[in-house]
């Protein structure tokens, strides 16, 4: 298709539409980071498509000067699967939220991941239904008091990364809206991945669930509550890099470095591990018992549905020719009336 | 390949009666191979030059308990030396493999018709399972009302296959070929097409080939040599228009019509589908043709099926989703999205009995309300319906032509009767079929603004493809501003866009043919029909016309919008009768739109209309009495038969 024009800027990726998120919403930061990342990826704007479902995050495509579809609740992965199946030349992003992806769209989310369609799924997790004004979501913690749970939520929340890894996602990462540098690097890694790339972004809803991620963003606590993953490196955290994660049997445990514990004793991060077990273990490390990992949990290669489908077409065409309808219709048993 | 010692048989030496047409039904247990038997009889008859029409009727269970009424599977074939449009009303011959089949099918056999029963399956436990106190084959009434042939099929097959290495159970499975061979003899059919089929189908199993062919020939010889069968019948070739024909089912014709539409419009085809009876065969068929550029996605659910198709349409492909009523219900929200996005898409509904899971394997045309108005908001979409198996081929292309011309999803209606039934199809020359012109806007230089909702004279918007420079735009399910497509909630704009979407669908009427009438242009009564009831309504009206009644027939292809001249036609007759396999859905629309007091003739019994019930209704509407046809069954016979129309 077309070649990348020289030196696109973030402004080139901004549409002419007024942005209608609440002032202070975490979505603004994610939008800004996306506009900064895309010019670096070398994909022309006309070859970039954003598809979303329903929810605050799903307004995202309107604000990008690319192709975009604001579809229906939960169905963006299905629509994107169809698009990518016929147009593997396009870079397709799916923008979704915790309710959109894990509640109403749960089925499409898991099947899209299992097919490993080459899509970039960015899940804005604010642990609340914002657009419908404050009901609990499938990632809201137990006991969460909302308009629809005045006595506290009694259903166990899902971990988006656990779900994705459970479906054997080939790329799984997590980042935080306000951590713009880390978010930019994470989105870039997702864009570079071939296959379904799933990124959970901790996003603050300052109107209906303000402070949900404070533990992970507060400058006084974040060194103890967040652990940044680096491929091939041991899991070390803390302001003074003095704590680490060690495996005790099959369970992770927090240990203090020194006092007889060396970095070599710690769990080493391996995002290329062919089995999802290691990545799943990381996804089970939840606040407050553990620091929560951010960065790339898993990045492996596996057949991609869209490429496989188009490969089948090419092979069939080269083996059997482009197909002759007249020959097909006249095949098998026919008879002629004079 | 066959090593059978039975001499090949060709011609009968017994008396042969020439008859214009006949209707035969094979009925037995779900595991008895009745569908295969019926299909073979149909192929052979079509190859002999008869016009044919079929009605397969089978239970939803794969294998219902043996010998039960619920487990009866039937296949009806109407074959003729003249044009026919229905699988026939009353049966001329009925083959029953067990007492349950007798009970559920006998009421359809005409008085004096041929009844062939597999005597070996009428043991005490068999007839008790079917609810008989005594062996119904011993009934004198049966003997006197029909030409009854009690044939010990299982034993005859066992004898014929004495030398075969097959197990007893395997041998017994050949008895459907025996039944087929017997009926082949009865109607002077050639065995060669079925022998060819058996050789191909069981190419790797020579013992099975031998056994089936032996059973087939043994039955033919049984007919020829047994004194019981005194004479046979001959149905000559039909005078069909010249050309090459193929026997085709509705679902295959639909699949091929879709592939043809893709080729004629220069597009590759994408199908998003989820398995559902009776639509799955379209998915199966299309999945074979990857070298034709056909991409099929068996989606995780009905919603993903249509949403993936919408994604493919957005990407510039010919997009289709296939389903049946329950699946269409799930797709409702996404159909609304396609209406808002104004993208071309075919939503194909192979209707079945409803509501909910309803009658999965039985036919009904009760999804017309769903098709026309079954979505939230003001959400009009064109609706087209196929009238017969072969017609699906044309309807698929017509639907895609309108869908792309107007940038709108189109609902295509078929039903289980059309989908599984078959008829001869005059094979077209694809190079002579009309092209479907599709334009996509080209790239724009920087500075020019692309307007995704700027419309042409028919109110259609441009189909801009991702990857085209300068056409970047955003669309979605939210109401949008006219011309720009930007999100817009203004009151006047919503009214304007609602009117525009409605007017666009109304404009379809300018691009479809005017309604044709079969029969005189004015008269006492017009029969108005749609979908799979075409053949029965046409035949019924023809019969009434021959009788000198002032009646005519209109069959609608487009249900939304209606043809421009429909109102004028409706007002040209004193009465309008709308027979439907629903409780009056088209009638509701006709009454609402034209304020015409149309009368309904409605049933939902999972079976098509019989011609005679329509003739009776037409006569009744005209104030005439019965046409003097004798009732099909006497009270005594009724005792042996289950309730009429109980399917089976």
CB within 8 Å: B471 and A46 = yes
* Band of residue B11 on the pLDDT scale cut at 50, 70, 90: confident
**pLDDT over 90 at B448, yes or no:** no
* Band of residue B5 on the pLDDT scale cut at 50, 70, 90: very low
Measured between CB atoms, does A336 come within 8 Å of chain B? yes
**pLDDT over 70 at B404, yes or no:** yes
Q: Which residue of A has its CA nearest to B261?
A: A325
In a domain, B274, yes or no: yes
Handedness of CA B599, B604, B610, B612 (dihedral sign): negative
Which residue, A303, A306, A191, is CA-closest to B317? A306
Report pLDDT for B8: 42
* Alpha-carbon distances, residue B640 vs B99, B101, B105, B117, B634 (angstroms): 10, 11, 10, 14, 10
In a domain, B390, yes or no: yes
In a domain, A266, yes or no: no
Contacts of B468 in chain A (CB under 8 A): 46
* Band of residue B7 on the pLDDT scale cut at 50, 70, 90: very low
**pLDDT over 60 at A213, yes or no:** yes
Residues 278-307 of B with CB under 8 A from A: 289-293, 295, 297, 299-301, 303-304, 307
Contacts of A90 in chain B (CB under 8 A): 315, 466-467
CB within 8 Å: B311 and A321 = no
Contacts of A49 in chain B (CB under 8 A): 466
Contacts of B317 in chain A (CB under 8 A): 86
Report pLDDT for B14: 87
In a domain, B644, yes or no: no
User: Do residue B567 and residue B461 come from a single domain?
Assistant: no
Backbone φ and ψ for B220, nearest 5 degrees, come out as -60, -45
Angle, helix B175-186 to helix B34-47, in steps of 10 degrees: 30
Print the domain residue range for A113: 10-212+303-311
Measured between CB atoms, does B236 come within 8 Å of chain A? no
Pairs of CB atoms within 8 A across A/B: 203
Residue A108 is inside which H or E element, if any? helix A106-115
CB within 8 Å: B49 and A337 = yes
Print the domain residue range for B41: 15-235
Report pLDDT for B639: 79
Q: Which residue of B has its CA nearest to A337?
A: B242
pLDDT, tens digit, 9 for 90 and up, residues B471-521 = 999 999 999 999 999 999 999 999 999 999 999 999 999 999 999 999 999
B353: domain CATH number is: 3.40.50.970
Give the integer Cα–Cα distance in Å for B550 and B546: 10
Q: CA of B503, closest CA in chain A: separation in Å?
A: 24
Handedness of CA A128, A132, A134, A138 (dihedral sign): negative
Report pLDDT for B643: 52
Report pLDDT for A259: 84
Helix, strand or coil, per DSSP, at residue B259: helix
In a domain, B606, yes or no: yes
In a domain, A285, yes or no: no
CB within 8 Å: B246 and A334 = yes
In a domain, B632, yes or no: no
Pick from A64, A71, A335: CB nearest B477 = A71
Q: Higher model confidence: residue B8 or residue A67? A: A67
Q: CA of A172, closest CA in chain B: separation in Å?
A: 22
pLDDT, tens digit, 9 for 90 and up, residues A166-185 = 999 999 999 999 999 999 99
Report pLDDT for B620: 97
Measured between CB atoms, does B334 come within 8 Å of chain A? yes
pLDDT, tens digit, 9 for 90 and up, residues B566-598 = 999 999 999 999 999 999 999 999 999 999 999
Q: CA of A100, closest CA in chain B: separation in Å?
A: 14
| Angle ∠(B64,B66,B71) on CA atoms, nearest 5 | 40
Measured between CB atoms, does A323 come within 8 Å of chain B? yes
In a domain, A146, yes or no: yes
Measured between CB atoms, does B432 come within 8 Å of chain A? no
Pick from B47, B240, B467: CB nearest A47 = B467
User: Do residue B326 and residue B474 come from a single domain?
Assistant: no
Question: Any residues with CB less than 8 A from the CB of B203 and at least 6 apart, and which?
Answer: B209
> Sheet containing B523-530: which strands, arranged edge to edge?
B551-556, B523-530, B573-580, B599-602
pLDDT, tens digit, 9 for 90 and up, residues B416-443 = 999 999 999 999 999 999 999 999 999 9
Q: Which residue of B has its CA nearest to A54?
A: B477
* Band of residue B356 on the pLDDT scale cut at 50, 70, 90: very high
Report pLDDT for B492: 98
Residues 294-313 of A with CB under 8 A from B: 309-310, 312-313
Measured between CB atoms, does A49 come within 8 Å of chain B? yes
Helix, strand or coil, per DSSP, at residue A316: helix
Token digits of residue B298 = 């068996």
* Alpha-carbon distances, residue A291 vs A216, A224, A229, A267, A297 (angstroms): 9, 6, 11, 14, 14
Give the integer Cα–Cα distance in Å for B633 and B627: 16
User: Do residue B184 and residue B300 come from a single domain?
Assistant: no
Domain total of chain A: 1
Question: How far, in whole angstroms, is CA B138 from its chain's centroid?
Answer: 38
Measured between CB atoms, does A86 come within 8 Å of chain B? yes
Q: Report H helices in B315-427.
A: 325-341, 368-373, 391-406, 416-420
- Tell me whether residue B368 is exposed, middle or buried, using C-beta atoms within 10 angstroms of its C-beta: 0 to 12, 13 to 18, 19 or more: buried
Q: What is the mean pLDDT of residues A206-232?
A: 97
DSSP-assigned beta bridge partners for residue A202? A125, A176
Q: CA of B454, closest CA in chain A: separation in Å?
A: 17
Q: CA of A211, closest CA in chain B: separation in Å?
A: 30
Residues 134-193 of B with CB under 8 A from A: 193
pLDDT, tens digit, 9 for 90 and up, residues B116-167 = 999 999 999 999 999 999 999 999 999 999 999 999 999 999 999 999 999 9
* Alpha-carbon distances, residue A33 vs A9, A37, A38, A129, A192 (angstroms): 12, 6, 9, 23, 16
Residue to substitute from A56, A66, A82, interface B, most B β-carbons within 10 A: A82
Q: Which residue of A has its CA nearest to B271?
A: A82
Residues 500-529 of B with CB under 8 A from A: none
Query: Within 10 A of A289 (CB to CB), how many other CB atoms are there?
Result: 10
* Band of residue A3 on the pLDDT scale cut at 50, 70, 90: low
DSSP state of A322: S
The domain boundary residue, chosen from B235, B257, B277: B235
In a domain, A194, yes or no: yes
Contacts of A336 in chain B (CB under 8 A): 243-245
**pLDDT over 70 at A2, yes or no:** no
Residues 221-260 of A with CB under 8 A from B: none
In a domain, B382, yes or no: yes
* Band of residue B644 on the pLDDT scale cut at 50, 70, 90: very low
Q: Higher model confidence: residue B59 or residue B530? A: B530
Tokens 């029409």 sit on residue: B53
Token digits of residue B519 = 């029969």
Contacts of A65 in chain B (CB under 8 A): 472
A179: domain CATH number is: 3.40.50.970
Pick from B246, B310, B474: CB nearest A15 = B474
* Band of residue B226 on the pLDDT scale cut at 50, 70, 90: confident
CB within 8 Å: A322 and B291 = yes
Token digits of residue B578 = 């709308």
Q: CA of A96, closest CA in chain B: separation in Å?
A: 15
pLDDT, tens digit, 9 for 90 and up, residues B71-99 = 999 999 999 999 999 999 999 999 999 99
pLDDT, tens digit, 9 for 90 and up, residues B376-390 = 999 999 999 999 999
Q: Which residue of B has its CA nearest to A308?
A: B295
**pLDDT over 90 at B10, yes or no:** no
Q: What is the mean pLDDT of residues A278-288?
A: 98
In a domain, A326, yes or no: no
Residue to substitute from A15, A19, A83, interface B, most B β-carbons within 10 A: A83
**pLDDT over 60 at B4, yes or no:** no
Pick from A1, A81, A312: CB nearest B308 = A81
In a domain, B500, yes or no: yes
User: Do residue B65 and residue B209 come from a single domain?
Assistant: yes
Token digits of residue B440 = 């996509």
Q: What is the mean pLDDT of residues B55-61?
A: 90
User: Do residue B500 and residue B419 come from a single domain?
Assistant: no
Half-sphere exposure of B191 (CA within 13 A, CB side): 28
In a domain, A267, yes or no: no
The domain boundary residue, chosen from B462, B486, B512: B512
CB within 8 Å: A61 and B474 = yes
Report pLDDT for B60: 85
CB within 8 Å: B467 and A326 = no
In a domain, A324, yes or no: no
Q: CA of B201, closest CA in chain A: separation in Å?
A: 13
pLDDT, tens digit, 9 for 90 and up, residues A10-64 = 999 999 999 999 999 999 999 999 999 999 999 999 999 999 999 999 999 999 9
Report pLDDT for B553: 98
Is there a contact between B136 and B640 (Cβ–Cβ < 8 Å)?
A: yes
CB within 8 Å: A61 and B270 = no
Domain total of chain B: 4
Residue to substitute from B79, B294, B314, B427, interface A, most A β-carbons within 10 A: B314
CA-based R_g, chain A, Å: 23
Measured between CB atoms, does B316 come within 8 Å of chain A? yes
Report pLDDT for B52: 96
Return the beta strands (E) in B11-90 as ranges.
15-19, 21-29, 51-57, 72-80
Query: Within 10 A of A239 (CB to CB), how many other CB atoms are there?
Result: 11
CB within 8 Å: A70 and B469 = no
Give the integer Cα–Cα distance in Å for A57 and B232: 76
CB within 8 Å: A78 and B304 = yes
């Amino acid at each position: 298709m077309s070649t990348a024009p020289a030196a696109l800027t973030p402004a080139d990726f901004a549409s002419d539409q007024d942005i209608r998120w609440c002032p202070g919403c975490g979505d603004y930061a994610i939008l800004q980071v996306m506009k900064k990342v895309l010019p670096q990826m070398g994909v022309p704007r006309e070859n970039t498509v954003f598809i979303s479902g329903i929810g605050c995050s799903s307004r995202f495509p309107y604000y990008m000067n690319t192709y975009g579809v604001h579809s229906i609740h939960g169905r963006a992965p299905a629509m994107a699967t169809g698009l990518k199946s016929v147009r593997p030349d396009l870079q397709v992003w799916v923008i979704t939220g915790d309710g959109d992806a894990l509640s109403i769209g749960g089925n499409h989310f898991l099947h899209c991941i299992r097919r490993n369609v080459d899509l970039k799924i960015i899940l804005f997790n604010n642990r609340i239904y914002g657009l419908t004004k404050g009901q609990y979501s499938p990632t809201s913690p137990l006991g969460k008091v909302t308009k629809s749970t005045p006595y506290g939520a009694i259903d166990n929340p899902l971990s988006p990364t656990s779900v994705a890894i459970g479906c054997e996602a080939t790329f799984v990462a997590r980042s935080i809206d306000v951590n713009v540098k880390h978010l930019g690097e994470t989105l870039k890694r997702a864009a570079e991945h071939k296959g379904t790339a799933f990124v959970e972004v901790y996003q603050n809803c300052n109107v209906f669930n303000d402070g949900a991620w404070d533990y992970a963003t507060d400058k006084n606590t974040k060194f103890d509550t967040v652990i940044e993953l680096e491929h091939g490196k041991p899991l070390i955290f803390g302001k003074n890099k003095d704590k680490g994660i060690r495996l005790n049997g099959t369970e992770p445990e927090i240990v203090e470095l020194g006092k007889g514990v060396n970095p070599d004793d710690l769990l080493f991060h391996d995002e290329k591990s062919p089995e999802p077990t290691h990545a799943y273990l990381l996804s089970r490390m939840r606040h407050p018992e553990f620091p929560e990992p951010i960065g790339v949990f898993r990045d492996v290669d596996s057949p991609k549905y869209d490429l496989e489908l188009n490969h089948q077409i090419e092979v069939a065409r080269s083996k059997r020719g482009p197909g002759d309808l007249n020959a097909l219709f006249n095949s098998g048993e026919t008879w002629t009336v004079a | 390949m066959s090593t059978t010692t039975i001499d090949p048989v060709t011609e009968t030496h017994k008396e042969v009666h020439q008859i214009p047409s006949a209707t035969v039904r094979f009925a037995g247990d779900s595991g008895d191979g009745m569908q295969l038997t019926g299909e073979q009889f149909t192929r052979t008859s079509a190859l002999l030059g008869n016009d044919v029409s079929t009605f397969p009727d089978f239970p939803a269970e794969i294998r219902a308990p043996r010998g039960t009424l619920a487990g009866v599977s039937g296949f009806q074939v109407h074959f003729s030396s003249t044009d026919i449009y229905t699988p026939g009303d009353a049966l001329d011959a009925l083959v029953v493999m067990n007492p349950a089949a007798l009970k559920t099918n006998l009421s359809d056999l005409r008085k004096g018709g041929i009844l062939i029963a597999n005597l070996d399956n009428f043991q005490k436990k068999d007839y008790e399972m079917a609810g008989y106190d005594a062996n119904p084959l011993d009934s004198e009434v049966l003997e006197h009302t029909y030409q009854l042939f009690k044939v010990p099929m299982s034993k005859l097959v066992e004898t014929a296959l004495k030398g075969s290495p097959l197990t007893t159970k395997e041998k017994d499975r050949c008895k459907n070929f025996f039944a087929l061979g017997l009926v082949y003899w009865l109607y002077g059919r050639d065995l060669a097409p079925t022998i060819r089929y058996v050789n191909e189908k069981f190419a790797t199993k020579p013992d099975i080939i031998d056994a089936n062919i032996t059973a087939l020939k043994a039955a033919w010889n049984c007919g020829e040599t047994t004194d019981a069968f005194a004479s046979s019948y001959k149905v000559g070739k039909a005078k069909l228009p010249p050309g090459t024909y193929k026997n085709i089912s509705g679902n295959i014709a639909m699949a091929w019509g879709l592939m043809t539409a893709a080729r004629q419009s220069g597009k590759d085809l994408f199908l998003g589908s989820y398995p559902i009876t009776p639509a799955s065969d379209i998915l199966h068929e299309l999945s074979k043709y990857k070298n034709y550029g056909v991409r099929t996605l068996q989606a995780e659910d009905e919603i993903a099926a249509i949403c993936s198709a919408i994604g493919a349409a957005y990407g510039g492909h010919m997009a289709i989703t296939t389903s049946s009523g329950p699946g269409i219900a799930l797709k409702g929200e996404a159909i609304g999205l396609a209406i808002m996005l104004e993208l071309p898409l075919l939503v194909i509904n192979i209707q079945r009995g409803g509501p909910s899971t309803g009658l999965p394997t039985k036919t009904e045309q009760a999804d017309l309300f769903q098709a026309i108005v079954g979505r939230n908001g003001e959400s009009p979409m064109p609706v087209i319906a196929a009238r017969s198996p072969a017609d699906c081929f044309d309807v698929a292309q017509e639907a895609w032509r309108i869908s792309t011309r107007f940038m709108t999803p189109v609902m295509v209606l078929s039903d289980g009767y059309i989908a599984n039934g078959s008829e001869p199809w005059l094979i077209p020359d694809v190079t002579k079929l009309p092209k479907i012109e599709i334009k996509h806007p080209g790239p724009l230089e920087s500075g020019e603004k692309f307007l995704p909702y700027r419309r042409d004279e028919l109110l259609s918007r441009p189909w801009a493809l991702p990857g085209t420079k300068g056409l970047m735009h955003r669309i979605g399910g939210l109401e949008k501003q006219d011309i720009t497509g930007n999100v817009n909630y203004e009151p006047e704009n919503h009214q304007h866009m609602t009117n525009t979407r409605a007017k666009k669908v109304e404009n379809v009427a300018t691009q479809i043919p005017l309604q044709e009438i079969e029969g005189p242009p004015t008269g006492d009564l017009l029969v108005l029909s749609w979908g799979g009831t075409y053949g029965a309504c046409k035949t019924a009206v023809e019969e009434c016309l021959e009788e000198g009644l002032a009646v005519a027939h209109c069959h609608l292809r487009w249900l939304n919008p209606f043809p421009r001249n429909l109102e004028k036609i409706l007002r040209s007759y004193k009465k309008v009768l709308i027979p439907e396999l629903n409780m009056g859905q088209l009638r509701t629309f006709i009454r609402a739109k034209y304020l015409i007091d149309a009368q309904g003739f409605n049933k939902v019994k999972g079976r098509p209309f019989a011609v005679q019930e329509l003739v009776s209704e037409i006569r009744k509407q005209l104030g005439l009495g019965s046409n003097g046809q004798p009732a099909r069954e006497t009270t005594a016979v009724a005792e042996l038969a289950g309730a009429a129309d109980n399917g089976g």
